[in-house]
Amino acid sequence: MHQKLTAFIQDYYQSKDFIPLHAPHFSGNEKKYLCETIDSTFVSSVGQYVDQFEQAISDYTGCAQAVATVNGTAALHAALYASGVRANDIVITQALTFVATCNVIHMMQAEPVFVDVDRQSLSLCPVALESYLQDNAYICAEGKARDKKSQKIIKAVVPMHTFGHPAQLDEIQQVCKKWQLVLVEDAAESLGSFYKNQHTGTLGDYGVLSFNGNKVITTGGGGMVLCKSQAQAQQVKHLTTTAKVAHPFEFYHDQAAFNYRMPNLNAALGCGQMEMLTIFLEKKRKLAASYQQFFQGSDYQFVQEPEYAKSNYWLNAVICPNKALRDELLEKTNQQGVMTRPIWQLMHRLPMYQQAKKGPLPNAEYFESRVVNLPSSPIMGTSSI
C-alpha cells in the first residue's frame, strides 16, 4: 500500500520533492493588507483589520459576535473562564485530542476527565459521556453536577471536532442540559465544517477556532471565540483586553484578566485568507474525494464526514488494518518525502495526565493504533483539480 499511496500523492501534487502535511497558501490580498498595516503603524492590537476579521468570521459562521485572540489555546481559556470554570472544577473532554485542549483545563487548575470518541466522527461520543456521568456523577441539592467521590463540581464539557469532522452535537447538548453542564466546542480544526447546516462552534455556549499555520486559513498564530450573544462577546472582549475600563487617560482595570489580543498584523493576514476560504474548502473536498476513491476496495478505510455533517476535511485520514501496517505506512511514506503522521497519543498516556480520571476508551484506543494523517494542502493555481 505504501508504494501505491506514495505514487498517488506525488502524482496528485505533481512533485517528487518533499510534500508537507498541510501548508499555508497565500495568493490573494494577504501581502497588500499586511503592507497597509505596516504603513498605518497600527501593527499591534489596535487597528481596522482586527474588527474586520472578527466581523468576517462572525458573518461566515453565523455567530452573534466573534472575539479575536492571540491563538486557539488563549481562545479556549477565555471561553472556559467566561463560562464559569474555575480551579477545582471538573471539565470533561475526549481522550483522543490535541494536547492543547486539556492543557487549558490544567492551566486553569481544573481537573480534566477523559471519555471515549465516536467511531463515525472520531469526536466526543455522547453515549460515552452519558455513561460516565451516570456512573460517576449526581445532581446535588444546588442543582449542580458533582463527582460522587471527590464532590467536585463537574462544570463543562469540551468536545473537539477531530480533523474538522463535527461531533454529534444534538445528543451532546441533550446530555449537557440533563446534567446542567456548560458546552464549549473546541472547533479549532473545523472552520468551514457544518453540523446539520449550522457551523461548528455555534451550537454550544461558546466555540473556539484556531488560525495556526497549519489550519484551513492562517493568521500565523491566532484564535477566535465564537459567542452566542453580544453580552457574551463584550465579556470575552473585556477579559482578553486586560479588563481595562475605557477612560480618556486613566489606567483602570476592574478584574484580573488576560492580554490575549490578536495583533492587527495577524488580523490583516486573516482578512486576506478569509477571502480565499471558499476556494480552499472546495479544493480540499475534491482532494478528500480523490483519497476516498483511491482507498475504495482496499483494507484501508478513508475517514469520511459523518452523514449528518459537511466537513472541511482539514486533515485527511486513513484507518489502517492494524498497528504494524500503520507503522509501515508511516515509515515508508516519510522516507519517500511524503509527510504522514499518526494520530495523537491518548491524553491519559502523557506523563502529566496519567492520573486523570477516564471512562472506557475502546474507540480511542482503536484509532490511536491505526489512524494515519495524509497530505491535505489544497492544490491552488493551475492544478488538475
Cβ atoms of residues 235 and 182 within 8 Å: no
Query: Cα torsion for 200, 203, 205, 206, to the nearest 10°?
Result: 20
Report the topology of domain 30-274: Aspartate Aminotransferase; domain 2 (3.40.640)
pLDDT exceeds 70 at position 160: yes
pLDDT of residue 384: 33
As assigned by CATH, the class of the 2-25+277-374 domain is: alpha beta
Percentage, residues of the chain above pLDDT 70: 99
Q: What 3 state SS string does 192-210 have?
A: CCEECCEECCCCCCEEEEE
**Grid-cell match 457544518, residue found:** 194
What is the 3-class SS of 99-159, one letter each residue? Answer: HHHHHHHHHCCCEEEEECECCCCCCECHHHHHHHHHHHEEECCCCCEEECCCCCEEEEEEC
pLDDT digits (tens, 9 = 90+) for 90-118: 999 999 999 999 999 999 999 999 999 99
Q: Are 294 and 10 in contact (CB under 8 A)?
A: no
The whole-angstrom distance between residue 223's C-alpha and the CA centroid of its chain comes to: 10
Q: What pLDDT shows up at residue 382? A: 38
The span from the first CA to the last CA of the chain, in angstroms, equals: 24
Reading the block at residue 28, the C-alpha cell is 490573494
Stated pTM of the model: 0.95
Ordered by start, the domain boundaries in the chain are: 2-25+277-374, 30-274
Q: For cell 491519559, name the residue.
A: 348
Using a pLDDT cut of 90, give the percent of the chain over it: 96
pLDDT tens-place string over residues 216-227 = 999 999 999 999
pLDDT value of position 385:
27
Q: How is residue 256 written as a grid cell?
A: 484580573
Write the CA distances from 81 to 64, 72, 184, 258, 316, integer angstroms: 19, 14, 11, 11, 32
